[in-house]
Amino acid sequence: ITTAHNLIAAMIDNSLQQGNELNLDPRRIVWRRVMDLNERALRSIILGLGGKANGVPRESGFDITVASEIMAILCLSTDLMDLKERIRKIVIGYTYDGKAVTAGDIGAAGSAAVLLKDAVKPNLVQTLEGVPAFIHGGPFANIAHGCNSLQATRLGLKLSDYFVTEAGFGADLGAEKFLDIKCRLGGLTPSAVVIVATVRALKMHGGRKKTELAQEDLAALEKGMTNLEKHIENIASFGLPAVVAINRFPTDTEAELALVEEKCSRLGASVALSEVWEKGGDGGLDLGRKVMEACGKRSSFRFLYEPSLSPKEKIGKIAREIYGAAGVTYTDQAEKDLAQIHELGKDDLLV
């Protein structure tokens, strides 16, 4: 993914060097380079220094590979040819008169797809107990959709009676994008959702300091439960049953665990202790049974919004219904970006 991404970047700079036939404005190239390492000194750089033979000087920078658009679209592609078509449509910059230029315009789609011909295939691995698992893709949930590849999920569904996949960053960020984006584009209908929580984290939400989390504190736990309750509410809004998996720590008391179970039960979510870190698969048997029970319940899966809504309407629904916001205030730059999206005819894209 790093190589394919940087190939496109190299072809952009080569296009500038070879006479700029596409009339690209070097100040409006939005395709940066990536590397699989956090390196703050390279976030903003000037490249092309050293004379005519080294290219056209311009401002640019590096992002981390998991933030690459290639990573995101690989995880949403159905096969290699679909991936190639998605690469072709990537907007890499704008001309001096404001027209969008794509990776297809600079002739990079085919070459990038060839570099990804093996990467597009799911990786089959196994757990310590021999359970098969796919490790394939990792787009950031805060800037992309935070889910593994659609191909791995579809393959897993073909090979098992129950298939578990992860949506990172909680039921407000990762799960919303998994349900509204990945499930919509992949034609997937989930049977149930597992929300992972810890007593320690809930007490922190209730105001306890990290150094105090080993002490029983039912008041802080009850106060912090509002966070978990909102996650359960979010999942219910999609019409899906929820199971809360409590990753148990040695410092959790019976009273604290009972409080979490009581609160969750009131909202219609079942609760199971997860002790797999200590006991391996045996520590997740109760969780597995409750997930199977939840999968057997009737559900009415639905999306939060329709693609036909305007970007502001979609953003507003997510902000209000998932995050509990009263409304959304846009910066001047955000307004400009939304205007650009409208001019490109992309108002129907998912958020």
At 118-133, the pLDDT tens digits run 999 999 999 999 999 9
Residue with tokens 């001047």: 332
Could you tell me which of 230, 158, 168 has the C-alpha nearest to residue 188? 158
Q: Are strands 100-102 and 91-95 parallel, antiparallel or unpaired?
A: antiparallel
Q: How confident is the model at residue 168 (pLDDT cuts 50, 70, 90)?
A: confident
Report whether pLDDT(3) > 90.
yes
- The pLDDT assigned to 171 comes to 82
Q: Are strands 270-274 and 242-247 parallel, antiparallel or unpaired?
A: parallel
- The pLDDT assigned to 10 comes to 98
CB count within 10 Å of CB 90 equals 21
CA distance 332 to 342: 15
List the CATH code of the domain at 189-295.
3.40.50
List the structure tokens of 108.
């990079």
Share of the chain above pLDDT 90, in %: 94
Report whether pLDDT(66) > 90.
yes
Q: Are strands 91-95 and 58-60 parallel, antiparallel or unpaired?
A: unpaired
Residue with tokens 């009737």: 298
- The pLDDT assigned to 140 comes to 86
Q: What is the pLDDT of residues 210-250, one digit of tens each?
A: 999 999 999 999 999 999 999 999 999 999 999 999 999 99
pTM of the model: 0.92
- The pLDDT assigned to 278 comes to 92
Overall average pLDDT of the 45-64 stretch: 95
Q: Give the phi and the psi of residue 151 in degrees, each rounded to 5.
A: -65, -40
- The pLDDT assigned to 170 comes to 82
Beta bridge partners of 46: 59
List the structure tokens of 241.
């049953």
Domain assignments of the chain as residue spans, ordered by start = 2-115, 189-295, 311-343
Q: What is the pLDDT of residues 6-45, one digit of tens each?
A: 999 999 999 999 999 999 999 999 999 999 999 999 999 9
Report whether pLDDT(78) > 90.
yes
Q: What is the pLDDT of residues 262-309, one digit of tens each?
A: 999 998 899 999 999 999 999 999 999 999 999 999 889 999 999 999
List the structure tokens of 290.
């409750």
- The pLDDT assigned to 124 comes to 95
Q: Which CATH class is domain 2-115?
A: alpha beta
Q: What is the pLDDT of residues 79-96, one digit of tens each?
A: 999 999 999 999 999 999
